[in-house]
């Protein structure tokens, strides 16, 4: 049976933060500290969801919603589960949530060098609308700003 028919998408619990930090660390990624994530779990505007396969977390996604605008802050998939449609599954779910909350536009930023993520977003019809030069403080890499309009729909 395909992995995609056995995935679960649900809100992250506080006791799952260590697991998502391990998933980041195995790829030398660190987006927010454990404490910051735990604080954000109490927020009414920031949301963390995990993707589970056979009861184990294999990825997570974080987004915020302010009025009718969503910002996707991070999408991370466990190393061994990449290229199996897990990020696609999570984005599909997040876009469904966005529509249910009457979000009109989704924004995100991605490193210029992050081709896998750019391909992922372009597959969902996100458009590269702007560039923030020298945006990332660790290596002064440019940030590409992507946007997806949900309403009014792009032709
Ligand atoms: C980017 C990332 C989230 C993609 O997750 P994934 O589950 O492997 O993605 P999917 O299997 O759903 O792939 C969807 C599309 O993304 C693109 N893609 C994914 N991995 C890719 C790669 N290594 N090279 C090029 N394109 C890639 C492809 O267009 C793919 O569509 P296809 O399968 O039809 O070719 C994953 O590589 C990751 O966790 N990267 C590290 C964290 C990160 O950079 N997150 C984004 C910024 S926060």
Q: What does the pLDDT look like over 6-19, one tens digit per residue?
A: 999 999 999 999 99
pLDDT at 56 over 90: yes
Give the global pTM: 0.96
Mean pLDDT of the chain: 95
C-alpha atoms less than 13 angstroms from C-alpha of 150 in its C-beta half-sphere: 19
For residue 107, which phi and psi values (nearest 5 degrees)?
-125, 155
Domain boundaries, given as residue ranges, for the chain: 3-107
**Residue 43: which pLDDT band, with cuts at 50, 70 and 90?**
very high
pLDDT attached to residue 4: 85
Q: What residues line ligand 1, using a CB cutoff of 6 Å?
A: 27, 29, 74-77, 82-88, 110, 114-117, 119-120, 123
Select 3-107's CATH number: 3.30.70.1150, 3.40.630.30, 3.30.70.1560, 3.40.50.720: 3.40.630.30
Atom of ligand 1 at shortest distance to CA of 122? 29
Burial class (CB in 10 A: 0-12, 13-18, 19+), 75: buried
Which residue, among 155, 69, 67, has the nearest Cα to 105 in the 3D structure? 69
């Amino acid at each position: 049976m395909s992995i995609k028919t056995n995935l679960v998408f649900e809100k992250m619990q506080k006791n799952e933060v260590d697991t998502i930090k391990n998933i980041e660390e195995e790829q030398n990624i660190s987006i927010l500290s454990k404490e910051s994530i735990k604080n954000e779990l109490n927020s009414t505007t920031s949301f963390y969801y995990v993707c589970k396969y056979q009861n184990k977390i294999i990825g997570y996604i974080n987004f915020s919603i302010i009025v009718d605008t969503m910002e996707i802050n991070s999408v991370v998939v466990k190393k061994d589960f990449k290229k199996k449609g897990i990020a696609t599954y999570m984005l599909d779910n997040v876009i469904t949530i966005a529509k249910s909350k009457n979000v009109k536009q989704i924004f995100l930023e991605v490193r210029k060098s992050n081709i896998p993520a750019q391909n992922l977003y372009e597959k969902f019809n996100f458009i590269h609308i702007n560039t923030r030069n020298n945006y990332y403080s660790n290596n002064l890499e440019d940030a590409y700003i992507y946007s997806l309009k949900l309403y009014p729909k792009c032709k």
